A and B are shown apart, each in its own frame.
Chain A
């Protein structure tokens, strides 16, 4: 049932500082592009409360590059991501995830910060962000801190974001040049679908030996999941059929897919195994970025 609109307040601050002052008071929540929250509103599931309209805050936009990293404002949209030349060249999985999230109308409005803070285990850019060793900046009225994105989500819809903090920036180190990048989203159709399984993986391979790797799955656990145990199995090993098999066995224990409206646990497990196998079998022959 549709929500009762007068039960909601949406206030537009004039600056980031004003927004941080508001969020320091109890009861306020940020509201960015609305592509998740407005869906909840329409179905009567959005909590009636006071929301801060951060969408107009230009301080939370923009993509800045230094020789070592690239930093995205939290309100960077999926469309902004796809248009950025450095991201296209050095972070292709993020661009692909952005291009496969919703359709163009969603991509014009949905934001990377929102994709993180909405904390869905089925979100499509977080696997890429984790694989790229992203860090995130959280700001409050009197403080700011950078955290590794790895470990930020602590359980289903749980995260290390205090009620008085706003996610303001996302930083990606520019250190995956020469690595293999692999992104696959499996859903009911190419656009407008929520993932059944999403996989982002990078690997640095030298003489068929895995020097280093990151393997991250969406929609197979209560949080978007970096599979550290599988990574450890692969690191410093030569890729062959036995290694691919043992990596799959470890993956089975590391992820915890469930049955839900979009898919079943056995299907998700099989797809995750297939994607891992596909990635590892083709290491070395994939285009390098």
Chain B
């Protein structure tokens, strides 16, 4: 019944995944399981046997940042940084499903990720810029 979040952070030392609310409300602990975003605080580790897990540590290719990560840096998408790993993974997942999302689709795709610095406009702008740089 151990939470995937705790196994990632405490046993595997992958501390890029953050804990916010611990009850599936904030999205800080977002990771990808077999290409789908989930809240790792709500997944018992017994349920991921045989699955492919991607955390924020697996996003950059060696020293090359993903376009979404670079856009967050270039356009002020990160403030305190606690929500950022979850935001980046949710954004990458959105762009994988829909490479040219509308603003409304970006808002829906990230609706489960809360930023308590309230930096949403910069985050949305970063994602729009990442789409443009991908073209």
Which of A5-13, A225-233, A236-244, A274-282 forms contacts with chain B?
A5-13
Interface residues of B in 32-70 (CB under 8 A from A): 36-39, 41-44, 46-47, 49
Interface residues of A in 191-247 (CB under 8 A from B): 191-192
- Point out residues on A near B: beta carbons under 8 Å: 3, 5, 8-10, 12, 31, 34-35, 38-39, 41-43, 51, 53, 55-56, 79, 102-106, 108-109, 190-192
Contacting pair A104 B44 (CB below 8 A): no
Contacting pair B23 A39 (CB below 8 A): yes
> A5-B1, A191-B111 in contact; A109/B23 too (CB < 8 A)?
no
Assembly CA distance A103 to B21 (angstroms): 15
Contacting pair A191 B1 (CB below 8 A): no
Select one of B44, B49, B109, B112 contacting A34, CB under 8 A.
B44
Select one of A10, A56, A104, A192 contacting B1, CB under 8 A.
A10
> A8-B1, A104-B109, A190-B111 in contact; A109/B38 too (CB < 8 A)?
yes
Interface residues of B in 64-80 (CB under 8 A from A): none
Contacting pair B24 A39 (CB below 8 A): yes
Q: Which residue of B lies closest to A12 (CB)?
A: B46
Contacting pair B42 A38 (CB below 8 A): yes
Contacting pair B36 A38 (CB below 8 A): no
Within the complex, the shortest CB–CB distance from A261 to chain B, in Å, comes to: 14
Assembly CA distance A51 to B44 (angstroms): 11
16 new A-B contacts, CB < 8 A, other than A105-B90, A106-B39, A109-B43, are A5-B1, A10-B1, A12-B46, A12-B49, A34-B43, A38-B44, A53-B44, A79-B36, A103-B27, A104-B111, A105-B30, A105-B38, A109-B42, A191-B108, A192-B111, A192-B112
Q: Which residue of B lies closest to A191 (CB)?
A: B111
Residues on the B chain within 8 Å of A104, using CB: 37, 90, 93, 108-109, 111-112
Q: Total A-B pairs in contact (CB under 8 Å)? A: 83
Residues on the B chain within 8 Å of A55, using CB: 47
Within the complex, the shortest CB–CB distance from B105 to chain A, in Å, comes to: 11
Q: Mark B92-118, 1 if CB is under 8 A from A, else 0.
A: 010000000000000011011110000
Residues on the B chain within 8 Å of A190, using CB: 111
Within the complex, the shortest CB–CB distance from B38 to chain A, in Å, comes to: 5
Contacting pair B38 A41 (CB below 8 A): no
Residues on the B chain within 8 Å of A31, using CB: 44
Q: Which residue of A lies closest to B46 (CB)?
A: A10
Most chain A Cβ neighbours within 10 Å, of B2, B24, B109, B111: B24
Residues on the A chain within 8 Å of B41, using CB: 38, 42
Assembly CA distance A8 to B25 (angstroms): 24
Q: Which residue of B lies closest to A55 (CB)?
A: B47
Residues on the A chain within 8 Å of B43, using CB: 34, 38, 109
Contacting pair A5 B24 (CB below 8 A): no
Residues on the B chain within 8 Å of A34, using CB: 42-44, 47
Q: Which 6 A-B pairs have the closest CB atoms?
A: A103-B112, A191-B111, A8-B1, A38-B42, A108-B36, A39-B23
Assembly CA distance A3 to B2 (angstroms): 10
Assembly CA distance A192 to B22 (angstroms): 14
Assembly CA distance A34 to B5 (angstroms): 14
> A10-B44, A12-B49, A103-B113 in contact; A108/B38 too (CB < 8 A)?
yes
A selection of 24 A-B contacts at a CB cut-off of 8 Å is A3-B1, A5-B1, A35-B24, A35-B39, A41-B3, A42-B3, A42-B22, A42-B41, A53-B46, A79-B36, A102-B112, A103-B27, A103-B112, A103-B113, A104-B93, A105-B30, A105-B37, A105-B38, A108-B37, A190-B111, A191-B111, A192-B25, A192-B111, A192-B112
